[in-house]
Each structure stands twice: as C-alpha cells, then as structure tokens.
Amino acid sequence: MMYNIVAVINIRFFLNRNSCYYCSLIRCDTQLIKLTSYVMAFKIDIRAARDPKVVDVYLYGDISSWGDLQPANISKQFTELEKKYTSARLHINSNGGQITEGIAIHSVLSNTTMELEIIVDGIAASMAAILVQVPKAKRHMSKYSKMMLHGPSGYASGTSEDLRQYAQMMDDFEVTLIQIVCDRTGMDNTSVKSKWFDGKDHWLSPQQALDAKLIDAIVEGQVTREAKNSLDPAFIYNFYQEQISNLNYTEMDFTKIIALLGLAATSTEQQVMDFVGNLVAENTTLQTQLTGLQTEVDGLKAQVTATRKAEITGMISAAITAKKITEAQRPMYESLAGKDFDNTKAILDAAQPYQPLTKVPGQQDDSPVIPVDRAGWTFTDWQAKDGKGLQDLKDNHKEEYKALYTKSFGKEPV
C-alpha cells in the first residue's frame, strides 16, 4: 500500500479480507475478557501479558482515517493503557496506508510514557515500516516477516498550480519520512533517499533490515512460514494474517458473532463461513450495481451540464444580437448565468436594446455622433428632450456641440 496524502493522493493497494472475521480481546493471564466483536475487519487487539505491567498491542490492518488503524482510536487506547502499564509490546502486520494518519500514529507512539517494544509479526510495508522506526523503541522482526520501504506516490487532479502544490506536498512528506529513517539508522538523508526512496519498492528480509539498522534484533515470532515468490503487499499481508488468525483461533468466541449475524445458536463453523461468504458475494454485487449507477448518474450530470451550457450560450448570443449587451460583456453574463440562470435570464429579458449616443473610444466605424433621428434637433430641443445627451456632446464631442450651438444661436459658444 502506498503512502497516501489525504484527499489528494490515493492509496495504491487495498486489501480484500472479506472472508476474515476477528474479535478484539483483552487477556488477563489465562482469563479472556471480550471487549467488542467485529465482522470482516481486524481492529486494535489489546492483551495484558502475564507481567501485570506489560501489555501486548496488535496493530493489524490498514493505516487510515476510516480503516482498521485510526490515530484517534490508537491515541485514546494508549492514553488508557498508560494509566495501567509501564511497558507495551507493539505487534505489527500492516501494508501501511496514509502518510498523515501514519505520522499521527508515529507521534502517539513516540510520546507514550510506556517503554515500547515493536515486533513485526508479518509485514511492515510502506507507512507501517516507518512506524517501526519510533524513537527509543526496541525494534524486532520475526524471522519469517518482511519489511518494505518506498517513497510517497499517488495521483492528483486540478489546475497546474494545484498539481505543483500536490507535488510539493509529496516532496515535503518524503523529507519527513526520510528524516525518521535517518534518526534511527544513523544514515544521512542522501543515502536513505537513494537507497529506499528512489521510486521503487524495496523488500527486506529480517537479516537485511538488521544489517541496515532498521531493526535491532530478529526474534521467533507467531508465523512459521515465509511469504515467497510474491511482491504483492495484499497477498503477503493475508498470507501472514491467516497464520496469525489460525494461532488465535481457539481464543475466539463465535457466540456473539453468530448472534450478530442472526444465525441459530447451533450453527457450525462452516455455516458461519458460508453465510459470511454469501455476504461478501452480495456486497460485491451491490458494489458492482453501485458503480453502474454512479456511471449512469455521472453521464446524466454531464448531459445536464452540456444542455445548460448550450442554453446559456444561446441566451447570451441572442441578447448580443438584440443589442441588449455587448460581446465584451459575454464572459460576465455567462458567469452570472452559470451561478443563477433564472435571474440572469430575467435581467436579459427585461433589458432594452442599447444605442450609444457617443462612439466607443477607438471604435473604427462611420456611424454619426448624432443619431439620424436627432439630426434636425435644435439646441433648445436637446435641452428639452435630452439634457444629458447635450451635456455628453459638450464634454466629448466639442465640434458637434459647437456646430449645434452656432446653428441655433448664430454665434459660437463661449
């Protein structure tokens, strides 16, 4: 999963774990206390260890503002845990996710009052690999796990200025991520960038991560098989998650899950799986239908937009032909019509054809300054019928004004 800048740069990989269902549990020694049941999503799993001052926290899933690992939830959990425990073991199996959410989680982990040990149970890819680099934390990878580092990537839309801002935002985030890695490995920024932030995915085995000082030690972990012959983060995540889930299988109480699904209390595991499988298939069908409907809606919106644009163009052109407005005013009225078509139409319908008394500065035509229908007017007629027009002649067309005055009074105006 690629880093994601919220609202701008999308996540590259999405997981499909529809056939999985898990529970969030707390373990107090050998006693299990169930907190909340979830279907088709693995959330934050917290279990108290045998040491009363140590807690195991399992971060399995996607880092995002809407998905499995949300910084607000993690922050709230850690605030409560810090009241009871002095140390925490953080288990990770994650493809990564959004940069902004990941940095927020990194901040929570960096500022916890608990001593922190991080263990990569399965995969720590993309933003999840950055979480491993929390300051002061002891960093471990299980011997069959994997780590993947790469630079931010995504897509954006908008104006050229928008794209430049988005690109700068990605570069700024990359600088932050590189610095986090530098702080833990002791490498300089240039080396980290050229080694792991060069536009490619870099998969590391536990030994390679240890040699690069991305971790402190390799440990025995929950998984017993390595994901080989695949560089697909979704596949690798599910490969490890399946092993982890099977290990925790006996700890899962299906009673509440069965009740939540509305199945009979006597339902077998296979019946539960079949039911969930049907829900997944049904969801896929609904998603396909939703996509089709959205495409249809988008098409209708485009038609409405095109029709309205044609109406606006026709209305403005008609007003120009009728000399109610000028061609120079077209952009202004098009903008007004785009925001409020009905009121703009009413304004144009009520407008009267405009016949300017004076020439437009720089206008190249042979039209007379004094309209033909006023050619016989005397100075007194102008005063009685169009005093404003007479003033305009005096101010802007002195020769015509002088000729009119002389003709009426037999002398030039003073």
Point out the catalytic residue in the list 106, 140, 150, 153. Answer: 150
Going by the DSSP 8-state scheme, the letter that residue 4 receives in this structure is: B
- Active-site option among 37, 64, 94, 126: 126
Nearest by Cα to 109 from 129, 134, 88? 134
Is 408 annotated as catalytic? no
CA distance 276 to 349: 62
- Which are the contacts of 343, defined by CB distance < 8 A and separation ≥ 6? 336
Tell which residue, 219, 357, 200, 277, has the closest CA to residue 39.
277
Residues 6+ apart with CB under 8 A from 166: 5, 8, 9, 156, 158
150 as an active site residue: the answer is yes
Nearest alpha carbon to residue 58 among 224, 235, 248: 248
> Cα(188)–Cα(177) distance, rounded to whole angstroms?
13
Check residue 29 and give left, alpha or beta (phi > 0: left; psi -120 to 50: alpha).
left
Selection from 7, 275, 38 nearest residue 162 by Cα: 7
Residue numbers annotated as active site: 126, 150
